[in-house]
Structure 1
Amino acid sequence: MTWQHLELNMAGAAEHMDVVYLDYNATAPLRPEALEATLDALRSVGNASSVHQAGRGAASRVDLARQRLARLLGCAPGELVFTSGATEANNLALRAVHSGGGGAIVTTVVEHPAVLEAARAITTGGRGRLIELPVNRDGAIELGPLEAACQRGPVSIVSAMLANNETGVLTDLTPVIKLTREAGALVHTDATQYVGRLPLDLSELDVDLLSLSAHKFGGPQGVGALFVRRGVPFPHRPLLLGGGQERGWRAGTLNVPGIAGLGAAAEAVRVRLHDEAARVAGLRDALEAGLTSRLPGCRINGIKSPRLPGVTSVTFPDIPADAVLAAMPDVAASDGSACASGAPSPSHVLLAMGLSREDADSTVRFSLGYATTEHDIERALDTVVRTVREVRRLMGTSAEP
């Protein structure tokens, strides 16, 4: 891809490109501010751990990014640990807290694999208990099993995502935090899809740990952060050893260009978040209205729950999602989590919400973002409707539910 094409994409002029990009939950286009900050750092030399002038210049970029991210999150800069992304942050949070038998890890069945697989690995071989909480048909956590788990105890940590990566369903963490506090456990949230999409203030949201990735809100790929609330009894168990970077939490030379880009994206989000969220929600609603009115039988998953403004999970009964996606290469969407692409089994999230395997395999996720335009939605609607009708015709399936 040429720089000219990249600049057009970042400016939101998707109509000048071949593909309508509706896969922001996989990764968002790099914001212009993030590109500029990343390139500026790449042109410079210096290790942020070095004490000479070049090193101090690199360290100043890291400090600025930490301050910018802290302003977006409503926390102190010293409460942020830079990582390679939310996957590392999730693993660090769970492994550091869990003492291997000292208490259960409690999470939900709809978490991202970066939480579920880490929790399962940590608790295998008798090294502790893992409790996976169910959700209802709208994707909301069932609080009864959480209350029972906390009462049985002991519990070391409860991890519940703020926004689901496949359906966009939001989690009301208030009752989760209350029950967890009563059990004397820590609260972690995977906020990967939430940060940069809706306002977040960690001075009000009383979680102990929070994970995020820059590339979900327009920063570079390969960089993220873990929020660790000051004063939390967080055992010092880093995943990576061999250096004292990030106050001993994460060894290795800091990714200064990536961190600088993260900070610039965070600042751009902070000043535009409310307007962007409202605009994107309107585009999402227009997409859903067009699909449900023009394609009999298609269903929106999680629509009765509060959702992220730019995410819709749409089931087209009786036709495989991969067939729909393959037949419309000019629309970039997904049939589930990007981190589970190629998996032979259907979405664990949709199955947990009560969908059949057939319906789960017939579901497409569209995710919009800051650069999505009305023209994108018009093009996507025409393409999706035409494609679904054609696939239905070729497969001989009915257009009715």
Structure 2
Amino acid sequence: MGLSVTLQSPDVGPVYLDYNATAPTRPEALEATLAAMRTVGNASSTHQSGRDAADRVHLARRQVAYLLSCSPGEIIFTSGATEANNLALRAAFAVGGRLVTSAVEHPAVLETAKALTIDAPGSLLTLPVDADGAVDLDGFHAALVAGGVAVVSLMAANNETGVLTDLAPIVQLAHDAGVLVHSDATQLVGRLPIDLAETDLDLLSLSAHKFGGPQGVGALFVRRGIRLPYRPLLFGGGQERGWRAGTLNVAGIAGAGAAAEAARLSMADEAFRIACLRDALEEALVEQVGDCRINGARNRRLPGVTSITFPGTPADAVLAAMPDVAASEGSACSSGAPSPSHVLLAMGRSREEADSTIRFSLGYATTAHDIERAVSSTVHAVRLVQEAMSVAS
């Protein structure tokens, strides 16, 4: 099925389809950030200016908590999801026992897990995934039955394919075995609902810039009542209940809270609209390019993400041939690395297939006209690269 779109705006600037790397700052977040930057005050000070800054932090904590359906007192602000992942795993692993994760996690989890277990051979179990990117639940259950597991860390939504993890049965199985559960929910939060009052996760990480907040601020959810020998990365004044020392980033935190509130209020409508645009993008590319494949479970993924393989067509060459479209070969955190996507390799794709894959990620500001432009540019770029390769051979 082709696209039928009425052009409503001129072609100004590149089409931005890399929301999984970072989302454009929402107007509400920008306003809140600037307002906080225009005021003076350390949120730890007791004078009026300090209390004013603290009020902004308290409001943001409530806004983030409301988005997650948890208590404000369970939110610890960090510099982003990478720091939150480090804090969560360091604390949970200190309980003693093995750490279980999956082969498709973000490097912020995988590299932290490797570092924590480097001196404890056999203490890290990395679960495989199937061709659709789903975690091997049989292997997970076997690990729990074997015993000795301290913490399980599984992402809520994959950053490259958008594939969702069904967390409810994982949490239930883990808790039945007395095991803590952490989820890197960086890509899920603000895009699809997550109710921590029902999904009984112990720890959850998020980053504000993925849902329209400023970069450099995130949060760690720590469920009230769990006992953890937390291991801070930074020592100092004991801010954030001792989990993270240092003067609070009031402006960034205020922006994060405003983005959380804006995402919460618009999430249902945004998710439906973005999924329709994503489907239109995929249908048009499949129809016009022909030889391409969608990676991951198509019926269980984020609304705005598609990972598309153009067999035998190097993704870096295609992206270079369409400078008017901002997309990605995979995770922005590993861009420039010579190795192929560990996510696609874990799903059984070959290195050539991984090197021929482009991730398009849409978001709240994506329009139908953006998709039309992206389709036109991508089709042209793929054909251009394929023709050049044919001539060279």
TM-score tier after normalising by the smaller chain length: over 0.9
Deviation at 1:305?
4.4
1:146 paired residue number: 140
Q: Distance in 1 between matches of 2:104 and 2:10?
A: 35
**Pairing partner for 2:68 from 73, 81, 88:** 73
Q: Is the 8 A contact 2:289 2:379 kept in 1?
A: yes
Q: Which residue identity lines up with residue 36 of structure 1 in the other structure?
A: E
Matches for 1:2-401 after TM superposition, within 5 Å: 15=10, 17-99=12-94, 102-126=96-120, 129-396=123-390
Which runs of 5 or more residues in structure 1 are unaligned? 1-12
Shift of 1:178: 1.9
| CA deviation profile, 1:80-103 (whole Å, cap 9, x unmatched) | 000000000000000011128x20
Given that 1:72 and 1:270 are in contact with CA atoms closer than 8 Å, whether structure 2 keeps it comes out as: yes
State the shift of 1:199 in Å.
1.0
State the AA in 2 paired with 1:264: A
Deviations 1:362-381 (A, max 9, x none): 00000000000000000000
Distance of 2:154 and 2:121 partners within structure 1? 21
Equivalent residue pairs, number: 385
Residues 109 and 349 of structure 1 are in contact (CA less than 8 Å); yes or no, is this contact kept in structure 2?
yes
Cα separation, partners in 2 of 1:375 and 1:327, compared to 1, 3 Å: same
Q: Partner letter of residue 265 of structure 2?
A: V
How far has the Cα of 1:15 moved from its partner? 4.9
Give distance in 2, aligned partners of 1:81 and 1:288. Answer: 38
Given that 2:204 and 2:221 are in contact with CA atoms closer than 8 Å, whether structure 1 keeps it comes out as: yes
Q: What's the secondary structure of 1:300's corresponding residue?
A: strand
C-alpha contact (below 8 Å) 2:87/2:230 kept by paired residues: no
Identity of aligned pairs, percent?
A: 69
* Residue pair 1:103, 1:128 contacting (<8 A) in 2 also: no
1:219-250 alpha-carbon deviations (Å, 9 max, x no partner)? 00000000000101222321211112111111
CA distance in 2: counterparts of 1:295 and 1:235, whole angstroms: 54
Distance 1:26 1:286 in 2: 21
Displacement of 1:303? 3.8
Greater shift in the superposed pair: 125-134 or 32-41:
125-134
* In structure 2, C-alpha distance between the alignment counterparts of 1:127 and 1:14, rounded to whole Å: 58
What displacement does 1:125 show?
Answer: 1.6
CA distance in 2, matches of 1:35, 1:56: 22
Q: Deviations along 1:328-384, whole A, 9 cap, x unmatched?
A: 110000001000111111000000001000000000000000000000000000110
Query: By how many angstroms is 1:175 displaced?
Result: 1.9
TM-score by length of 1: 0.94
Is the CA contact (8 Å cut-off) linking 1:243 and 1:251 kept in structure 2?
A: yes
Across the aligned residues of Structure 1 and Structure 2, the Cα RMSD in angstroms comes to: 1.4
Shifted more, 126-135 versus 112-121: the winner is: 126-135
- Which residue type is aligned with residue 156 of structure 1? A
- How big is each residue's C-alpha offset from its partner over 1:106-154, in whole Å with a ceiling of 9 and x where there is no partner? 0000000000000000000227600000000000011111111111121
Q: TM-score, normalised by structure 2?
A: 0.96
The aligned residue for residue 6 of structure 1 is none
